[in-house]
Amino acid sequence: MEPPAPQRRVTIVDVARHAQVSTTAVSKVLRNAYGASPEMRAKVRRAIDELGYRPNAAARGLRGQTYTIGVMLPDIRNPFFPEILDGITDHLAETDYQVFLGPGGCNDEKAEARVTDAMIDRGMDGIILIAPVSSRARLERIASAVPAVVVGRHGHSTVYDTVTDDDVAGAAMLVGHLVDLGHRRIAHIEHHETDPTRIAEMPNAQRADGYRHAMRSLGLAEEIDIVSTTYTQEGGYEGAKQLLARPRRPTAVFAGADIVAMGVLEALTEAGLSVPGDISVAGYDNTTFASFGPISLTSVDQAGHEIGGNAARLLLERIADRRKAPVQVKLSPTLVPRRTTAPPPA
């Protein structure tokens, strides 16, 4: 039994000694900084490899850079986030940055604050906030402490960039699709929202808005029928129950999110109604399960990968220049028609 190897980690000093140069020189090579000859670079790199040196992120952080980017996502369960994340990591793959996810509690401002504070404490170089529920003021506070990009919140800011999908257009496409199929009585299930800022900024509100506008512009103002519940399976179930109790039942239901559509489908099955024979159903987000054979849900696809890629790009730009003018990127969704929508019963 040898002593259990205290194993001091290799530091920049070890590398410098091994390569017979100064620590300054090693640091320059590490950061591709100016002032190191090709021979020096080669020599240092060899030493780094031989010793298996890896820079200590804490020490770097103390000096200003951690090469770490934080992504706050409020609910890992939301099957739409992975796409965004892939977009982010793909964009960052070639850089020295490492991505870490901070799990915000589901739609919980407190938890969100805890995570973002933790990211700032850890000196992360930049953070991406995905569909945050925090107040506008809070977002600005965060963004003034660290370069930030906000995904999925409509509404401008002077300190952070935003990337959103055009929810109004998406909702309109869906309504258009249903109308093309011959539907007129099209109902919508929305996520209930009271806070005025959020009504203006949150995607759910925008979808409801898009629904209203589309109905009106297609001459169906009379038929607008919105049920307010939540973006959950239960919310969909409840909403569908309410809609089924209407004297004139809708022939199509546009659920504000795929998960809501799942609840709707359950309620319809329970009521003995067939989809799409008796009633059409559509969701939003084109989540993984929407494509599963037994479900085959008509939905709207947000360009998740592109959203993530853009967010990462904007963040890098902002890290490079913290005072550049904020940018708003708005991407366009696409309709994905599947088997839950069909012409209404004759």
148-151 and 161-165 beta bridge pairing? parallel
Element (H, E) at 66: none
CB contact set of 93 (below 8 Å; sequence gap of 6+): none
- Which position among 17, 41, 45, 122 is part of the footprint of its own copies (CB under 8 A)? 122
Q: How far apart are CA 260 and CA 209, in angstroms?
A: 17
By CB under 7 A, is residue 118 in contact with DNA? Answer: no
By CB under 8 A, is residue 192 in contact with its own copies? Answer: no
Q: Which stretch binds DNA (CB under 7 A): 26-34, 178-186, 190-198, 263-271?
A: 26-34
Q: How far apart are CA 292 and CA 286, in angstroms?
A: 11
| Residue 248 binds: one of DNA, its own copies, none (C-beta under 5 to 8 A by kind) | none
Q: How far apart are CA 286 and CA 293, in angstroms?
A: 14
By CB under 7 A, is residue 9 in contact with DNA? Answer: yes
Q: Is the dihedral of CA 58, 60, 62, 64 positive or negative?
A: negative
- Which position among 13, 33, 42, 76 is part of the footprint of its own copies (CB under 8 A)? 76
By CB under 7 A, is residue 60 in contact with DNA? Answer: yes
By CB under 8 A, is residue 80 in contact with its own copies? Answer: no
Q: If binding means CB under 7 A, how many residues of this protein chain bind DNA?
A: 32
| Residue 35 binds: one of its own copies, DNA, none (C-beta under 5 to 8 A by kind) | DNA
By CB under 7 A, is residue 95 in contact with DNA? Answer: no
By CB under 8 A, is residue 22 in contact with its own copies? Answer: no
Alpha carbon of residue 44 to chain centroid: 41
Using the 8-state DSSP alphabet, how is residue 225 labeled? Answer: E
Q: Which stretch binds its own copies (CB under 8 A): 61-69, 179-187, 191-199, 223-231?
A: 61-69
Distances (CA, A) of 291 to 275, 277, 285, 288, 295: 15, 19, 11, 6, 7
Task: Please name which of 9, 10, 15 lies closest in space to residue 27, comparing C-alpha atoms.
Answer: 15
By CB under 8 A, is residue 66 in contact with its own copies? Answer: yes
By CB under 8 A, is residue 326 in contact with its own copies? Answer: no
* Binding site residues, its own copies, CB under 8 A: 4-5, 7, 54-62, 66, 68, 70, 76-77, 79, 81-82, 85, 89, 98-103, 105, 114-115, 117-118, 120-123, 144-145, 233, 262, 265-266, 269-270, 288-289, 292-295, 323
